[in-house]
Structure 1
Amino acid sequence: MTLEWLSVGLEVAAIHIAGIFAAGHAIMNTRTSQGAIAWAVALVAVPYVTLIPYLFLGRTHFAGYVDEATFDIARRSARNVSANEPVLLSFREQHHPAMDPSLHRYRAVEKLVGHTFVAGNDLRLLKDGEATFSAILDAIATARDYILIQFFVVRSDRLGMALQAALLARAADGVKVYFLYDGIGSHSLDRGYIDALRLGGVEIHAFSIRRFRNRFQLNFRNHRKIVVVDGRQAFVGGHNVGVEYLGEKPPLAPWRDTHVAIRGPVIGQIQRTFSEDWYWVTQQLPAVRPAMEQAGDMLCLGLASGPADAQETCSLFFVQAIHAARRRVWLASPYFVPDSAVSAALRLAVLRGVDVRVLVPSRPDHLTVFQASLFHTYEAVHAGVKVYRYQPGFMHQKVMLIDDDTASVGSANLDNRSFRLNFELNVLTVSPSFASQVEAMLLVDFAHATQVAAEEFAGLTRLRKVAMHVARLFAPIL
């Protein structure tokens, strides 16, 4: 009996020692002080409960991702060109409108992402799933050389099968098709769906955690949504591949989302983002061509972000864009769990007299995130931010409008997962005409929403308040 108790005591001691070491690791490696404190306290106090979750969720740095210099060397080697050739995939200075005064507000964003705005683009809003996937499938049908396609969620339902058929038809005609899907986001994707594409000539791979240092992580998901056809057409936004994105899956239907159709040189930056992801997965490069075609007069910047970045690109982008606003900041996001920097930027914008509005869903798709969003909603409303709950169905778009000339559409949500844990892609556009399109779209959305009143919080039950405060403690991993 004594030996049994001794064995139990040693096991308990070992778990606590492991918890202490893990807490030290969290303190040294977690990006935010809030996250570091939360993990450290939990690992020391209740290591029996938190050690395993920390193994899968604790890291906030993605190890071993594509190094910029290594990628450029590989690209040049693949194309057998000299090191002095301009970086055609990123178009760093070739179309840079250096004298345009409207871009001065965003110079810090350019330095942050390592790319400059490029001129000569045309963007078209695609509202909701039918418009988005109709445009994508039409573009795929015109492909002659190659298709790049990447989604976080791919399902083998009616929409997924339509996409599969379109890709197989182009592959049968000799078009190169490169397909990335996220291994966790698409965990339910049928193996037969993948095999059929592969047998039909499509190069398809899961974005997964290959390196040992990332081995156990459920974080670091590739949340990007990218389609590029022949370097001439591209699509970026919030939709994934599934019938719920067409509004055909209760109880969240109808589904409200936004994508954007793109033509012009900024496609080069989008292609580079896809190529870096493809290189990480395959150690090879897709055969793409420079997107040199001028298509309009819009200034655009492809804003890729992720946990491998030296700085917190996504969070800093939102902070700088909000600070740049002089008249309005309108945001739409399905998850409103901003970090302290973005929250402070929104409060300061209100104090400057800026019209700050946030559009969020009125119903949850993830209960814990929804409860945390409620906490931040109430905090924002008390600070003077106007928050609106979209009523007709689930609102999933990721859109930002700054003043009368700047808009962003992409995959990044207003939460820590997009800020620090996911690979994301937004397209930032400086164009009064495109901003006008976004304004008209959001005005319709606000007309279908109800504004959250500060008085609403006083009527909440004690249990609801406790649930909100507990949920917000999980913000670093939501």
Structure 2
Amino acid sequence: MDYHSPQFFAYLIGATHFIGAIAALHAVFTVRTAQGSIAWALSLLFIPYLTLIPYLVFGSRTFDAYIQARRQANQEMHVAMADLNWRPWVEEALAASNSPAYAGLRGLSKLGRMPCLANNQVSLLVNGKATFDAIFSAIEQARDTVLVQFFIIHDDLLGRRLHDLLLRKAAEGVKIYVLYDRVGSHALPARYSQSLREGGVEIRAFATKRGWFNRFQVNFRNHRKIVVVDGVQGFLGGHNVGDEYLGARMPLSPWRDTHVQVTGPVLACLQESFAEDWYWAARKLPPLILPETYPENGVLCQVLASGPADPQETCSLFFVDAIQAAQHRVWITSPYFIPDEAVFASLRLAVMRGVDVRILIPARPDHRIVYAASSLFAFEAVRAGIRMFRYQPGFLHQKVMLVDDDVAAIGSANLDNRSFRLNFEITLVTIDPGFAGTVESMLLEDFEQSREITLEDSRDTHRLQQLGMRIARLISPIL
């Protein structure tokens, strides 16, 4: 056959469209949402040359077996934890809250697999220096066990500081467990992990599937950031381990992010979430530490650990529940604003109820397609009466929600489909007027450094930019 003949190219084009049609049919039957199904099916039918390979990487649903395996692993882990007398302790510490704010979150008790616990202390860490100074200080004081989990670990100055500290504590006899996401940390060199392993640190990569192909598999990533030291100090939030999180890399610096430091019974839930992920990666449990007593009084907290193996879409439903519970205020900050229809409808309805709905997003893009899709959603939100702001000083990466005067949620979940349905996320929900007031002060300062998006911004956007935004929105369900 003449591979340069018109007939060959005709056969090739025809075969590509035929395979694209089969893949489109596969997407209709397997993609989790109607929006995602439409986005994949249309692109596979009309531009298979550009979308067949991305569909194999991003959209191919070979994950049913993975979900079942993950659920089975979780069941095995809970059986093992029951032998450690773990869950009974957690249930005994359950706080029967009479808080009207908690009662307003009617779905939270059902969504969360972990109980709401009283007598916790929570502190805000509003930038990278404060976060890692606190984390490193806690690890320095470790005497027994350190659990470390990040989506991204870089082999840069900050990453090497963590590396050297963990090696030193391991040499002192402290048990160290490190879990990172294989795709999020794809640039992490093997020597980083190997030197930790040789120094006595237990380190694993979280992966959906094993093998070379997983390097290109971006779905079902573990986006959680958790550190627990000796069962008495814990950290979670938006920071990963890298110099950019300290604002040391242009053009996104200064980096705006938020973490929280917690002590109290809720650390049992952080350890349980870590144990689930560690058990998946290593098929054994890390040490779990439960102090016998905690100080009285403190903040009411609930950990919401969400992921694609949940029987329902926990993360998305939490946002819907919290927004619907709001009486006078919902303030949200997120680096990505690509809400699903349920969340977007809840935001619009909140405005109709007279709720002060404000959403803070970045003024600078780190992913241009996501930024374009977010911009179009932002313009539509403004037309619906939602107040949208762009943070000006640097890149905004924090994930924070404030509801009325009592409820604050801080964690790793973005306001997008990937966090709602594809990633493993962790969020700390607090119910306390004092801590909510601290979060309010932080967000007011952020809003003061932001510019509000107006209807004029939408009208002044060039038509080519509008076209790009609309194309980006078409694929937003799969971003």
Partner of 2:87, secondary structure, is: coil
TM-aligned CA distance change 1:155 to 1:311, over 3 Å: same
Structure 1: stretches of 5+ with no match in the other structure: none
TM-score (norm: length of structure 1): 0.93
TM-aligned CA distance change 1:359 to 1:2, over 3 Å: closer
Distance 1:418 1:131 in 2: 25
Q: Which residue of 1 aligns with 2:28?
A: 27
Partner of 1:429, secondary structure, is: strand
Cα contact 1:63–1:211 (8 A) shared by 2: no
Partner of 2:56, secondary structure, is: helix
Following superposition, the deviation at residue 120 of structure 1 comes to 1.2
Following superposition, the deviation at residue 286 of structure 1 comes to 0.7
Distance 2:340 2:149 in 1: 28
Distance 2:121 2:9 in 1: 67
Q: Which residue of 2 aligns with 1:254?
A: 254
Q: Which residue of 2 aligns with 1:234?
A: 234
Q: Which amino acid aligns with 2:178?
A: F
Cα contact 2:106–2:321 (8 A) shared by 1: no
Distance 2:194 2:392 in 1: 40
Q: Which amino acid aligns with 2:66?
A: G
TM-aligned CA distance change 1:441 to 1:243, over 3 Å: same
Partner of 1:345, secondary structure, is: helix
Q: Which residue of 2 aligns with 1:387?
A: 388
Are residue 133 (structure 1) and residue 135 (structure 2) matched? no
TM-score (norm: length of structure 2): 0.93
Q: Which residue of 1 aligns with 2:66?
A: 64
TM-aligned CA distance change 1:322 to 1:78, over 3 Å: closer
Distance 2:461 2:10 in 1: 45
Distance 2:8 2:92 in 1: 66
Q: Which residue of 1 aligns with 2:426?
A: 425
Cα contact 1:75–1:285 (8 A) shared by 2: no
What does 1:180-329 align with in structure 2 at a 5 Å threshold?
180-210=179-209, 217-290=217-290, 293-295=293-295, 296-329=297-330
Cα contact 1:400–1:407 (8 A) shared by 2: yes
Partner of 2:231, secondary structure, is: coil
Cα contact 2:350–2:357 (8 A) shared by 1: yes
- The C-alpha deviation readout for 1:166-224, integer Å capped at 9, x for no partner, is 11111111111110111111111122221111111111111112269x95632111111
Partner of 2:96, secondary structure, is: coil
Q: Which residue of 2 aligns with 1:155?
A: 154
Are residue 415 (structure 1) and residue 412 (structure 2) matched? no
Q: Which residue of 1 aligns with 2:332?
A: 331
Are residue 36 (structure 1) and residue 40 (structure 2) matched? no
The worse-fitting range, judged by mean Cα deviation, of 401-410 and 192-201 is: 192-201
Q: Which residue of 1 aligns with 2:105?
A: 106
TM-aligned CA distance change 1:108 to 1:69, over 3 Å: farther
Partner of 2:194, secondary structure, is: helix
Q: Which amino acid aligns with 2:394?
A: G
- The C-alpha deviation readout for 1:207-264, integer Å capped at 9, x for no partner, is 112269x956321111111100011111000111111111111111111110000001
Partner of 2:288, secondary structure, is: coil
TM-aligned CA distance change 1:98 to 1:253, over 3 Å: closer
Following superposition, the deviation at residue 453 of structure 1 comes to 1.3
Structure 2: stretches of 5+ with no match in the other structure: none
The number of residues matched between the two structures is 473
Distance 1:71 1:136 in 2: 28
Following superposition, the deviation at residue 450 of structure 1 comes to 1.2
Q: Which amino acid aligns with 1:436?
A: G
Q: Which amino acid aligns with 1:357?
A: R
Partner of 2:105, secondary structure, is: helix
Q: Which residue of 2 aligns with 1:120?
A: 119
Partner of 1:153, secondary structure, is: coil
What does 1:336-355 align with in structure 2 at a 5 Å threshold?
336-355=337-356
TM-aligned CA distance change 1:77 to 1:373, over 3 Å: closer
Q: Which residue of 2 aligns with 1:54?
A: 55
Cα contact 1:382–1:454 (8 A) shared by 2: yes
Cα contact 2:401–2:408 (8 A) shared by 1: yes
Q: Which amino acid aligns with 1:333?
A: S
Cα contact 1:59–1:217 (8 A) shared by 2: no
Distance 1:333 1:361 in 2: 8
Following superposition, the deviation at residue 28 of structure 1 comes to 1.7
Following superposition, the deviation at residue 132 of structure 1 comes to 0.3
Following superposition, the deviation at residue 45 of structure 1 comes to 2.7
Q: Which amino acid aligns with 2:239?
A: H
Distance 1:245 1:192 in 2: 23
Cα contact 1:64–1:211 (8 A) shared by 2: no
Following superposition, the deviation at residue 464 of structure 1 comes to 1.2
TM-aligned CA distance change 1:78 to 1:353, over 3 Å: closer
Distance 2:104 2:476 in 1: 30
- The C-alpha deviation readout for 1:27-78, integer Å capped at 9, x for no partner, is 1221211110111122233333322111110046564346557535445447
- The C-alpha deviation readout for 1:341-396, integer Å capped at 9, x for no partner, is 11111100000000000111111111111111110110001111111111111111
Distance 1:169 1:62 in 2: 41
Q: Which residue of 1 aligns with 2:177?
A: 178
Distance 2:418 2:183 in 1: 14
